[in-house]
Amino acid sequence: MTKIEVNGAALAYDEAGSGSPVVLLHAGIADRRMWREQIDVLATRHRVIALDLRGYGESELPPTAFSHHDDVVGLLDGLGLARAALVGCSFGGAVALDTALAHPDRVSALALLGTAVSGHDWSDQTNDLWETLVGDVDPEDFVATAAGEVRFWVVGPERVPEQVDPELLAFATEMDERALAAELALSAVDVAELDPPAVGRLGELTMPVLVTAGALDVPDIRQLADHIAATAPQAHRLPDVPDAAHLLPLERPAPINSALLAFLP
């Protein structure tokens, strides 16, 4: 683990390999450790940087205003990189999209895995699924909330926990409990959002975009992948990854690694 000063905060990252740079951006229920199955594989061809976004994992959270997408560019500046490909899962995908729209000259390609999109409103169907699968939880109870989020996102609406690798569930739960503490701290800081948000601007993307989702993820995520593929000019939609929900790089690394190696410049 290395730390770098970015826009007044010390951000933690892991780095491996050499070649064209690739930055990995984690899900909001995780941290940079979710890329444990990708780093060594991608490092055979690329300079791989797995970042803890500000406030998450081992990255600091000073009480000053910031934006995640400007932090990504600050990371590139600090490492002397003119451009990089961004690989994002879930919230990390939303940060990657925002970065590409705010700083298009700094992003060579986007790979979006089960991505969120800034400005997207969750559908009634997804909200109803949450109520059915999780229900009301105390947001200050990190253990209960993490259990609910892992049930919703990592298991997914079409499985029961017994159908998922218990080690994956334990690892996801540990990461999510830590991420929930980060999100509580972030709620007290002024986090600038992309304005206008990405959901209405996908046609502005100028770089190649690869998009996919887990076949067992919630419907909104799969529909967002379809929307990006239909709207971004250079987008390619891979089929949904079988037997995977929201953390598909962890759950099904083989097809994800193959797709990334084939796509990344």
Cβ–Cβ < 8 Å for 234, 203: no
Q: How confident is the model at residue 33 (pLDDT cuts 50, 70, 90)?
A: very high
Overall residue count recorded for the chain in this entry: 265
Q: What are the residue ranges spanned by the domains of the chain?
A: 2-121+190-263, 124-185
3-class secondary structure, 163: helix
Query: How many H-runs (helices) and E-runs (strands) does the chain carry?
Result: 9, 8
State pTM to two decimals.
0.96
pLDDT tens-digit readout, 148-190: 999 999 999 999 999 999 999 999 999 999 999 999 899 899 9
Are 65 and 189 contacting, i.e. CB atoms less than 8 angstroms apart? Answer: yes
Cα 31 versus chain centre, distance: 9
Q: Tell me the CATH class for 2-121+190-263.
A: alpha beta
Residue 115 has pLDDT above 90, yes or no: yes
> In angstroms, rounded to a whole number, what is the distance separating the alpha carbons of residues 30 and 34?
6
The strand pair at 9-16 and 2-6 is best described as antiparallel
